[in-house]
């Protein structure tokens, strides 16, 4: 089994029926971050509708559909994928009577791309860091977009080797402060110590699920270069994000940056 297959299996096993998507997710928990993501989605859908009269969205890794609803409310027709069977079932139940949403349980993480179908907008929220080979994956997703279409990603950790020491220390410190209140601290500390030494365990589910979070982050410059060849405009935006509500409020208006998003718009002709 290659690492992509292992990681996809880990998504399935790590996001079971009772999975709480909000708990460790700053972009879901903190109203300001969440609002910024929602505003960008609404704008992208509105742009597509203004351009073509409609907006077909491919949302990869939708979780429990928090942002699917935003897309639908903005007027989109959405294909959502999930690599977790339990989350796909949850989505199917939620949207059973809604023909604006099609749910795909994507066991391989990319089978939806082999369809003869194209979309106006692709959305990956807190998903790129779960994909081991994210550059070819983004290229393949862009390959399914119509000319003029857009690709939006958000809530992925900035590439660690490029980050300031202060931002690393702030991220680790604020994560730790939050983690202390979450239980299972001994296991968390063991994993953290191992990763700080650069040791990853491909049999440890948390190392597989949070693939790039526990390794080097995601390379926003490489992503911008990769998408720059396929889209006329590529906007990489960076921001501060942490689990603890207190430290989010304290640090979000400083110059510290931990995470990023990318809005690639105006897909060039293939
Ligand atoms: C951190 S959660 C984010 C969920 C949702 N987008 C949100 O922001 O609430 C990541 C989700 O992506 C799914 N996932 C990861 N890689 C995937 C892939 N290649 N295809 C489909 N789903 C994937 C996981 O199963 C998980 O539910």
Band of pLDDT at residue 177, cut at 50, 70 and 90: confident
Protein residue with least CA distance to atom 13, ligand 1 = 61
Q: Residue 261: its pLDDT value, please?
A: 98
Q: 83 CA distance to ligand 1 centroid (A)?
A: 7
Strand segments (E) across 114-230 = 119-125, 145-157
d(CA 86, CA 126): 18
Give 115-131 pLDDT, tens digit per residue: 999 999 999 999 999 99
For 45-87, write each residue's pLDDT tens digit: 999 999 999 999 999 999 999 999 999 999 999 999 999 999 9
pLDDT of residue 199: 74
The H or E element that residue 261 is part of is strand 259-267
Neighbours of 73 (CB within 10 A): 13
Mutate to test the pocket of ligand 1, among 64, 130, 213 (most ligand atoms within 8 A of CB): 130
Q: Report whether CATH 3.40.50.720 matches the domain 3-267.
A: no
pLDDT band at 106 (very low <50, low <70, confident <90, very high): very high
Q: Which two tokens stand for residue 196?
A: 């700080």
How big is the CA angle at 134 (ends 130 and 138), to the nearest 5 degrees?
Answer: 120
- pLDDT band (50, 70, 90) for residue 185: low
Contact 171, 258 (CB under 8 A): yes
Q: What is the pLDDT of residue 130?
A: 93
Is it the case that residue 228 has pLDDT exceeding 80? yes
**Ligand 1 center to 146 CA (angstroms):** 23
Domain range summary for the chain, segments of one domain joined by +: 3-267
User: pTM for the complete prediction?
Assistant: 0.94
Computed over every residue of the chain, the mean pLDDT equals 91
- In the numeric block, which tokens belong to residue 44? 């992208």
Which residues contact ligand 1 via a Cβ below 6 A?
11, 15, 21, 28, 60-63, 66, 81-84, 87, 106, 109, 125-127, 130-131
| Higher-pLDDT residue of 217, 193 | 217
For residue 87, report the distance from its CA to the centre of ligand 1, in Å. 9
- Strand, helix or coil at 230? coil
CA distance from start to end of the chain: 32
Residues 6+ apart with CB under 8 A from 131: 4, 7, 109, 137, 211
């Amino acid at each position: 089994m290659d690492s992509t297959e292992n990681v996809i299996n880990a998504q399935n096993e790590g996001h079971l029926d009772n999975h709480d998507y909000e708990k460790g997710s700053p972009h879901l928990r903190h109203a300001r971050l969440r609002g910024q993501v929602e505003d960008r989605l609404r704008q992208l859908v509105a742009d597509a509708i203004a351009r073509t009269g409609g907006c077909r969205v491919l949302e990869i890794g939708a979780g429990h559909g928090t942002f699917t609803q935003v897309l639908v409310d903005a007027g989109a027709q959405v294909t959502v994928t999930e690599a977790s069977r339990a989350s796909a079932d949850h989505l199917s139940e939620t949207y059973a009577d809604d023909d604006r949403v099609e749910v795909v349980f994507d066991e391989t993480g990319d089978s939806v791309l082999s369809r003869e179908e194209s979309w106006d907008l692709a959305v990956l929220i807190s998903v790129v860091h779960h994909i081991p080979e994210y550059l070819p994956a983004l290229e393949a997703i862009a390959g399914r977009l119509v000319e003029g279409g857009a690709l939006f990603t958000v809530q992925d950790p900035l590439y660690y080797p490029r980050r300031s020491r202060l931002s690393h220390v702030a991220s680790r410190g604020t994560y730790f402060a939050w983690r202390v209140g979450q239980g299972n601290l001994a296991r968390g500390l063991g994993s953290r110590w191992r990763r700080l030494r650069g040791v990853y365990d491909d049999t440890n589910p948390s190392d597989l699920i949070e693939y790039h979070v526990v390794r080097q982050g995601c390379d926003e410059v490489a992503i911008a270069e990769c998408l720059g060849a396929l889209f006329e405009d590529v906007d990489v935006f960076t921001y501060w994000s942490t689990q603890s509500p207190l430290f989010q409020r304290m640090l979000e208006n400083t110059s510290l940056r931990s995470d990023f998003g990318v809005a690639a718009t105006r897909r060039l002709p293939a």
